[in-house]
Amino acid sequence: MDKEYENIKVIGFDADDTLWVNETYFREAELEFAKLLSEYETPNKIDQELFKIEIDNLELYGYGIKAFVLSMVESALQLSNYNVNTKTIEAILNIGKSMLDKPVELLDGVEEVLKVLSTKYRLILATKGDLLDQERKLVKSGLMDYFHHIEVLSDKKEANYSKLLNHLDIEPSQFLMIGNSLKSDILPLVNLKANAIHIPFHTTWAHEQVSEKETNGKAYKTLNSLRELLNLLD
């Protein structure tokens, strides 16, 4: 075991794009959406407008597929100057339903790593998004029994993590967070003096991207895969 992690008692795992595939489905949905609106705008313009509306709606809708669908509908209305037909709106809703019905595709090594670490640490799932959808994916994943606690957060900022650590009754130095998003899974924990390990996913939502300036001097490790955790923690 790496001495840096000798005091760890609880390990938190992000869900989407850390344990299972998620962002890939959003990119596919955006391509379908652009095709539906192709008579009104270029794919690039459609993508830009959808992203802008998603960000504007975060405070109202939060994260997840349902929020994404509402933003697509709003974008379709605006991009078409309110001329979009009901069949197109129905097709947008069906994109969302298809996303919600996707199978859960576990990333490489996930169950192996959780099985090993759950015998030595208290594992928790700390994710954000729509509660019903995240609970559904967790059940489909078959991973629920590995986790001592499940937390679906409205957001992943320092205040949210502070509240979670208080609930778990542990010090930041005893907590390790594993995730694919520097913005949501890593930097807030580093700022709280907790431990964090970044495992990048090949696709990252633009809202989750951070600059080199934001990560400069921050103390966290980056691994290529979940399996590498066993070299540090087992």
Q: What percent of the chain has pLDDT above 70?
A: 94
State pLDDT tens for residues 97-147: 999 999 999 999 999 999 999 999 999 999 988 888 999 999 999 999 999
Report how far residue 154's alpha carbon sits from residue 62's, in angstroms, rounded to the nearest whole number: 7
Residue 142 and residue 112 in contact, taking contact as beta carbons nearer than 8 Å: no
The pLDDT mean for the chain works out to 92
The amino acid that residue 137 corresponds to is K
Give phi and psi for 218, each to the nearest 5: -85, 140
CA distance 7 to 98: 43
CA torsion angle for 148, 154, 159, 163 (degrees, to 10)? -30
Tell me the CATH number of domain 23-100, given options 1.10.150.240, 3.40.50.300, 3.40.50.1470, 1.10.3720.10.
Answer: 1.10.150.240
Q: pLDDT per residue over 36-68, tens digit each?
A: 999 999 999 999 999 999 999 999 998 899 999
Amino acid sitting at position 186: I
Give, as one character, the DSSP assignment of residue 125: E
SS3 (DSSP) at 207: helix
The neighbouring-strand residues paired with 178 are 13, 197
Domain with CATH 3.40.50.1000 in the chain: 3-20+104-233
| pTM of the shown model | 0.89
Query: Where are the domain boundaries for CATH 1.10.150.240 in the chain?
Result: 23-100
3-20+104-233: which CATH architecture?
A: 3-Layer(aba) Sandwich (3.40)
The angle that helices 65-79 and 23-36 make with each other, rounded to 10 degrees, is: 20
What is the pLDDT at residue 154? 83
